Homo-oligomer: A and B are copies of this chain.
Amino acid sequence: MIVRPRPHWLYLLFVRRGSLVHLILQQQLFVFAVACAVVAAHGQLFHWKVPLNASPFSLIGIALAIFFGFRINASYDRYWEARKLWGSILVDSRNLARKASTCVAPGSNVRPFILGIAAFAAALRNQLRGDPAQRGLEGLLPDEVTARLAPARNPANLILLWLAQGLREKRAVGRLDPILAHSMEQNLDELSLAMGGCERILNTPLPFTYSVILHRSSYLYCVLLPFGLVDAIGLMTPLIVCFVSYTFFALEALSDEIEDPFGRAPNDLALDAIVAGIEASLREMLGETPAPPPRPDENYVLS
């Protein structure tokens, strides 16, 4: 996630970070070259003047903009839903920790349980990012539990099961009222819901065909556009074509990036920071001093 104070409007025009230029430079150069060639040939292809003008491009361009608007909207909804799911992981982690501290009979040692919640968040992050299963779990789980997770396909789910077993033990010895156990089970259900939501977003991309149709239409559009403009605006054709294609290509690249919000691209979610925040919040509730929050790197990217 790119975290920076909003720069001055003038500076914002020339900022290079976050502009995705590097991702679409190749495509832009290609379109620019086509436009220049069309201008140089005065709109001729093999000595045949291509008879095109601006009016069909106006129609098609607006239609494409409408469909792109939908694409961006759908990608952003995925991004924002993913963020909401991680927000609910933070919330239910705190709720579980609060109830562990106050609903279980005083004198019980609930510290392992509360750190186990932080371990759940870390394990889920590892699953979503394809990180090694043990990353960031040190000190949060008993060793024998960590060992059991190694071969698992879904370690975070097994941590939830382990947490529930902890509740059962408290209940069995009468240190937890069944009704309050039910209350904590509801929070475990919420954590499970958030995990399932993240898996859903990870495993189900936007319909591939939709991306293909839009991609193809926008490229064909940008390649044909110079023929439609050259008679009217001559030497300005490459500039305008690059302007149009920048808008389309950059939005497509951004959509691609936030469509899978769990990756490590600059605009993806800062899962590491969120996981660290969950652990810090839980430790603070335990009366410990949390580690300082992670800082964005020199490119303003928080990973």
A binding-site residues for B, Cβ under 8 Å: 1-4, 6, 9, 12-13, 15, 18-20, 26-27, 50-70, 72-74, 76, 79, 83-84, 87-88, 90-91, 94-95, 98-99, 101-103, 106, 152-154, 157-158, 160-161, 164-165, 167-168, 172, 177-183, 185-189, 192-193, 195-197, 199-200, 204-205, 207-213, 215-217, 219-221, 224, 227, 229, 232-236, 239-240, 243-244, 246-247, 250-251, 254, 256-258, 266-267, 269, 280-281, 284-285, 290, 293, 300
Among residues of B, the one whose C-beta sits closest to the C-beta of A177 is: B178
Complex Cα gap A300–B212 (Å): 14
Residues of B near A215 (CB, < 8 A) are: 9, 12-13
Contact between A209 and B53 (Cβ–Cβ < 8 Å)?
no
Contact with A284, one of B20, B27, B154, B200 (Cβ below 8 angstroms): B154
Contact between B285 and A157 (Cβ–Cβ < 8 Å)?
yes
The SS class assigned to the A binding surface is helix
Complex Cα gap A217–B67 (Å): 18
Contact between B51 and A199 (Cβ–Cβ < 8 Å)?
no
Copy number in the complex reads 5
Query: In the complex, how many angstroms separate the beta carbon of A246 from the nearest chain B beta carbon?
Result: 7
Residues of B near A267 (CB, < 8 A) are: 207-209
Among residues of B, the one whose C-beta sits closest to the C-beta of A54 is: B55
Q: What 9 additional pairs, Cβ within 8 angstroms, besides A98-B192, A106-B172, A208-B300?
A: A6-B256, A12-B211, A13-B216, A52-B236, A59-B62, A63-B65, A101-B161, A102-B161, A103-B181
Complex Cα gap A19–B212 (Å): 6
Complex Cα gap A281–B52 (Å): 58
What 8 pairs across the A-B complex have the smallest Cβ distances?
A91-B196, A63-B65, A2-B208, A87-B200, A102-B164, A51-B234, A54-B55, A59-B61
